[in-house]
Copies of this chain bind each other. A is one copy, B any other.
Amino acid sequence: MEQEIKVAIYGATGYTGVELLNILLKHPRVKIVGLTSQSHVGKRLKEVFPFLEGPVGNLKITSDAEEEYDLAFLCLPHEESLELVPKLLNQGKKVIDLSGAYRIKNPQIYPEYYGFQHKYPKILERAVYGLPEIYRERIRNAQLVANPGCYPTSVLLALYPLIIERVKIEKVVITSLSGVSGAGRKPVQHFHFPEMYGDFFAYSLDKHRHVPEMESVIKEIGEVNILLRFSPVVVPTSRGMLSSLSIFCDKVEAKELYNETYKNEKFVRIVLEPPHVKHVLGTNLCLLYSFWDERVKCLQVISVIDNLGKGASSQAVQNFNIMFGFEEDLALNTVPSFP
């Protein structure tokens, strides 16, 4: 039998943590040896999630990982990840951090957008942004992968073909729709079921943490400053994300460009009709639809992902597979449930 990689999941009982567990259970080369969660210490996993049976279900949730392991997935609040990462790196562990603590290269962004000083700028430099379609080679050798946010994943995959081709971009306007799970698992008034049922609304229109994250990656790969107009909207469903991008740029042959850029990618598909969010739920897929609007002189792109899949946990597993030299789609060959 081939060797197993031992992993710990910090923050295992939030939505990204459970999704990660769900995927890793199908992974033939992974052994989960530690689960942490501040809110359920001492319980077995199956007491919190009765649908998680078997060996994993019997694992005890602890406040810190107790057994030796090779890699930690961090599904923690930003501030907790910020402090934990240096400790784990010092112990020689590999880390995939699903928080925003190590995503933005410029530490000066953090006080304004995250409310804390970033005390570890050197580690920030070493962190690799975990969007495999852009940074695959760096991910391969990374000790620390900063797993991208959901909005940035859907947006950057839509912009990447233009940026690497150095297409001149004048303006980018983005409206992104997200299911409610993107807001996390903590119960709050406006996401109480009766109130969110039948509702939808925009939020954080003037300042969203994902904006500097996106602009920072664009700058790094395109050597260009593009200021994004970004409007997120939450819609009344649990999962899924759709980004509508209107890009004013030099005219391009949209479909060819997108097909060419992603021709070798397993998880990015160029589609000929506007894609349905339901067609990617539970998968690591990103579907991209694009066309040149000759009337308005603008490239219109639609990008759909599962916010907890390619937007979080399955992308983390994709990164994991790359870091350990496994087939990139190991445990990720899923088909969405229908209907």
A-to-B contact residues, CB < 8 Å: 15, 18-19, 22, 25, 49-53, 171, 173, 175, 177, 179-181, 185-203, 205-206, 227-229, 231, 233, 235-240, 242, 244, 246, 248, 269, 271, 273-283, 289, 291, 293, 295-296, 298, 300, 302, 304, 335-339
- Given contacts A231-B300, A236-B237, A338-B22, are A197 and B193 in contact (CB under 8 A)? yes
Report how many copies the assembly holds: 4
- Check B237–A278 contact: CB distance below 8 A: no
Q: In the bound complex, how far is the Cα of B186 from the Cα of A315, in angstroms? A: 34
- Check B15–A295 contact: CB distance below 8 A: no
- Given contacts A22-B335, A51-B280, A300-B205, are A244 and B233 in contact (CB under 8 A)? yes
- Check A202–B242 contact: CB distance below 8 A: yes
- Check B229–A296 contact: CB distance below 8 A: yes
List 14 A-B pairs, Cβ < 8 Å: A51-B338, A180-B194, A185-B189, A185-B339, A186-B192, A190-B276, A191-B192, A195-B339, A197-B339, A198-B239, A201-B274, A201-B275, A228-B296, A238-B339
- Given contacts A193-B191, A227-B295, are A198 and B237 in contact (CB under 8 A)? yes
Instruction: Select from chain B the residue with minimum beta-carbon distance to A226.
Output: B296
Q: Out of B175, B237, B277, which one reaches A175, CB within 8 Å?
A: B175
Residues from chain B with a CB closer than 8 A to the CB of A188 are 187
Q: In the bound complex, how far is the Cα of B280 from the Cα of A153, in angstroms? A: 30
Residues from chain B with a CB closer than 8 A to the CB of A335 are 22, 25, 51-52
Q: In the bound complex, how far is the Cα of B232 from the Cα of A244, in angstroms? A: 9
Query: In the complex, what's the smallest C-beta–C-beta distance from A314 to chain B, in angstroms?
Result: 12
Instruction: Select from chain B the residue with minimum beta-carbon distance to A182.
Output: B194
- Given contacts A171-B248, A189-B187, are A281 and B198 in contact (CB under 8 A)? yes
